Structure 1
Amino acid sequence: MTAVTDQDHTDQAGDAGSENREGPVEEPVGGDADRGGKDGHTRVESAKGGPARAEAGPGRARAEAGPARGETVENAEGQADADSAGGWDDGLIARRVTAETEQAAAVEVRGPNAPPAAPLAYDAPLHSRLDALRELVGLSRARLDSRTLAEAGQVLDEAAARRRLSGQHTVVAIAGATGSGKSQLFNALAGVAISETGVRRPTTAAPIACSWSDGSASLIERLGIPPRLRRRPLQSAESEAQLRGLVLVDLPDHDSAAVQHREHVDRILALVDAVIWVVDPEKYADAMLHERYLRPMAGHAEVMFVVLNQIDRLPGEAAEQVLDDLRRLLDEDGIALGEYGESGATVLALSALTGDGIGELREALGQFVAERGAPARRIAADVDAAAWRLRPVYATGRRTGLSEEARDDFAARLADAVGATAAGEAAERAWLRNANRACGTPWLRLWRWYQDRREPPTGRLPLRAHPEEEATARQRVEQAVRTLADRASAGLPAPWAQAVREAAVRGSQGLPEALDELTARAGLPPGRPPRPGWWPAAVLAQASMTLLQIVGGLWLVGQIVGVMAPNLGVPVLLMVAGIIGGPLVEWSCRMAARGPARRYGVEAERRLREAASGCGRARVLDPVAAELLRYREVREQYSRVVGV
Structure 2
Amino acid sequence: MEQSWDDGLIARRADNRAVYDDEAVPDTGQGTAHVPIGSPYAGALRDRLDALRELVGLSATRLDGRTLAEAGRVLDEAAARQRLSSRHTVVAIAGSTGSGKSTLINALAGVPVSETGLRRPTTAAPIACSWSEGAAELLDRLAIPGRLRRRPLAGGAGDEALQGLVLIDLPDHDSAVTAHRAQVDRVLGLVDAVIWVVDPEKYADAVLHERYLRPLAGHAEVTFVVLNQIDRLPGDAAHQVLDDLRRLLDEDGMALGEHGEPGATVLAVSALTGEGMGELRELLGAFVQGRNAAARRISADVDAAAARLRPVYVGDGRPGLDERAQEDFGARLAVAIGATAAGEAAERAWRRNAGRACGTPWLRLWRWYERLRTPAAREPQQPAPVEDELTARQRVEHAVRIVADQAAYGLPAPWAQAVREAAVRGAQGLPEALDELAVKTREPKPGGRPPRPRWWALAVLAQMSMTLLQVFGALWLVGQIVGVLDPGLLPPVLVMLAGIIGGPLVEWACVAGARGPARRYGQEAERRLREAAASCGRAMVLDPVAAELMRYREVREQYATVAGSRLRTG
TM-score (norm 2): 0.89
Tell me, in whole angstroms, the C-alpha distance in 2 between the residues paired with 1:38 and 1:452.
109
Partner of 1:313: 232
Partner of 2:26: 39
What are the within-5 Å matches in structure 2 for residues 43-192 of structure 1?
A: 115=34, 117-192=36-111
Tell me, in whole angstroms, the C-alpha distance in 2 between the residues paired with 1:274 and 1:120.
18
1:585 matched to 2:494? The reply is: no
Q: How many residues align?
A: 540
Change in 2 beyond 3 A, CA 1:593/1:314:
same
Is contact 2:199–2:229 with CA below 8 Å preserved after alignment? yes
Q: Deviations over 1:279-333 (max 9, x none)?
A: 1111111110011000100110111111111111111111111111111111111
Tell me, in whole angstroms, the C-alpha distance in 2 between the residues paired with 1:158 and 1:186.
26
Pairwise CA RMSD: 2.5
Q: 1:276 aligns with which of 195, 211, 230?
A: 195
Give the C-alpha shift of residue 118 in structure 1: 4.1
Partner of 2:426: 507
Change in 2 beyond 3 A, CA 1:419/1:230:
same
1:468 matched to 2:387? The reply is: yes
Is contact 1:312–1:351 with CA below 8 Å preserved after alignment? yes
Which 10-residue stretch deviates more, 528-537 or 583-592? 583-592
Q: Secondary structure at the match of 1:234?
A: helix
Change in 2 beyond 3 A, CA 1:286/1:121:
same
Q: Secondary structure at the match of 2:159?
A: helix
Q: Secondary structure at the match of 1:213?
A: coil
Tell me, in whole angstroms, the C-alpha distance in 2 between the residues paired with 1:553 and 1:135.
94
Give the C-alpha shift of residue 468 in structure 1: 1.8
Partner of 2:305: 386
What are the within-5 Å matches in structure 2 for residues 230-269 of structure 1?
A: 230-234=149-153, 239-269=158-188
Tell me, in whole angstroms, the C-alpha distance in 1 between the residues paired with 2:81 and 2:382.
69
Is contact 2:111–2:153 with CA below 8 Å preserved after alignment? yes
Give the C-alpha shift of residue 511 in structure 1: 2.5
Is contact 2:131–2:157 with CA below 8 Å preserved after alignment? no
Is contact 2:430–2:537 with CA below 8 Å preserved after alignment? yes
Q: 1:488 aligns with which of 371, 396, 407?
A: 407
Q: List runs of 5+ in structure 2 lacking aligned partners.
A: 1-19, 566-570
Is contact 1:504–1:624 with CA below 8 Å preserved after alignment? yes
Amino acid at match of 1:562: G
Give the C-alpha shift of residue 528 in structure 1: 1.3
Is contact 1:274–1:303 with CA below 8 Å preserved after alignment? yes
Give the C-alpha shift of residue 516 in structure 1: 2.1
Tell me, in whole angstroms, the C-alpha distance in 2 between the residues paired with 1:227 and 1:316.
44
Partner of 2:16: none
Change in 2 beyond 3 A, CA 1:183/1:457:
farther
Which 10-residue stretch deviates more, 588-597 or 172-181? 588-597
Give the C-alpha shift of residue 382 in structure 1: 0.3
Partner of 2:263: 344
1:632 matched to 2:553? The reply is: yes
Amino acid at match of 2:110: G
Q: Deviations over 1:184-233 (max 9, x none)?
A: 11111111121111111110111111111122111111111111111111
Q: Deviations over 1:56-75 (max 9, x none)?
A: xxxxxxxxxxxxxxxxxxxx
Partner of 1:327: 246
Q: Deviations over 1:163-193 (max 9, x none)?
A: 1111111111111111111111111111112
What are the within-5 Å matches in structure 2 for residues 14-33 of structure 1?
A: none
Tell me, in whole angstroms, the C-alpha distance in 2 between the residues paired with 1:235 and 1:532.
110
Tell me, in whole angstroms, the C-alpha distance in 2 between the residues paired with 1:419 and 1:531.
25
Q: Secondary structure at the match of 2:215?
A: coil
1:621 matched to 2:542? The reply is: yes
Give the C-alpha shift of residue 237 in structure 1: 9.1
Change in 2 beyond 3 A, CA 1:330/1:452:
farther
Tell me, in whole angstroms, the C-alpha distance in 1 between the residues paired with 2:385 and 2:527.
24
Amino acid at match of 2:494: L
Amino acid at match of 1:323: L
Amino acid at match of 1:609: R
Q: 2:478 aligns with which of 548, 557, 566?
A: 557
Amino acid at match of 2:522: G
Amino acid at match of 2:491: V
Give the C-alpha shift of residue 619 in structure 1: 2.7
What are the within-5 Å matches in structure 2 for residues 432-447 of structure 1?
A: 432-447=351-366
Is contact 1:387–1:642 with CA below 8 Å preserved after alignment? yes
Change in 2 beyond 3 A, CA 1:597/1:128:
same
Which 10-residue stretch deviates more, 252-261 or 462-471? 462-471
Tell me, in whole angstroms, the C-alpha distance in 2 between the residues paired with 1:38 and 1:215.
7
Amino acid at match of 2:309: L
Which 10-residue stretch deviates more, 135-144 or 611-620? 611-620
Change in 2 beyond 3 A, CA 1:331/1:239:
farther
Change in 2 beyond 3 A, CA 1:237/1:499:
closer
Q: Deviations over 1:334-385 (max 9, x none)?
A: 1111111111111111111111111111111111111111111110110110
Partner of 1:573: 494
Q: Secondary structure at the match of 2:152?
A: strand
What are the within-5 Å matches in structure 2 for residues 389-404 of structure 1?
A: 389-404=308-323
1:608 matched to 2:529? The reply is: yes
Give the C-alpha shift of residue 541 in structure 1: 1.6
What are the within-5 Å matches in structure 2 for residues 363-378 of structure 1?
A: 363-378=282-297
Is contact 1:488–1:624 with CA below 8 Å preserved after alignment? yes
What are the within-5 Å matches in structure 2 for residues 519-530 of structure 1?
A: 519-525=438-444, 527-530=448-451
Amino acid at match of 2:26: D
Is contact 2:131–2:156 with CA below 8 Å preserved after alignment? no
Partner of 1:362: 281
Q: Deviations over 1:501-526 (max 9, x none)?
A: 22222233333222222222222226
Is contact 2:21–2:134 with CA below 8 Å preserved after alignment? no
Change in 2 beyond 3 A, CA 1:237/1:422:
closer
Q: List runs of 5+ in structure 1 lacking aligned partners.
A: 1-21, 25-36, 42-113
Give the C-alpha shift of residue 144 in structure 1: 1.4
Q: 2:465 aligns with which of 511, 527, 544?
A: 544
Tell me, in whole angstroms, the C-alpha distance in 2 between the residues paired with 1:382 and 1:507.
40
Is contact 2:21–2:37 with CA below 8 Å preserved after alignment? no
Q: Secondary structure at the match of 1:247?
A: strand
Pick the structure with greater CA Rg. 1
Change in 2 beyond 3 A, CA 1:392/1:184:
same
Amino acid at match of 2:513: A
Q: Secondary structure at the match of 1:307?
A: strand
Partner of 2:9: none
Amino acid at match of 1:208: I
Partner of 1:44: none
Amino acid at match of 1:39: P
Tell me, in whole angstroms, the C-alpha distance in 2 between the residues paired with 1:584 and 1:276.
107
Give the C-alpha shift of residue 452 in structure 1: 4.5
Q: 2:452 aligns with which of 528, 531, 552?
A: 531
Structure showing greater relative contact order (alpha-carbon pairs closer than 8 Å, 6 or more residues apart) = 2
Change in 2 beyond 3 A, CA 1:273/1:458:
farther
Q: Secondary structure at the match of 1:401?
A: coil
TM-score (norm 1): 0.79
Partner of 1:15: none
Q: Secondary structure at the match of 2:151?
A: strand
Which 10-residue stretch deviates more, 612-621 or 625-634? 612-621
Change in 2 beyond 3 A, CA 1:245/1:117:
farther
Which 10-residue stretch deviates more, 569-578 or 231-240? 231-240
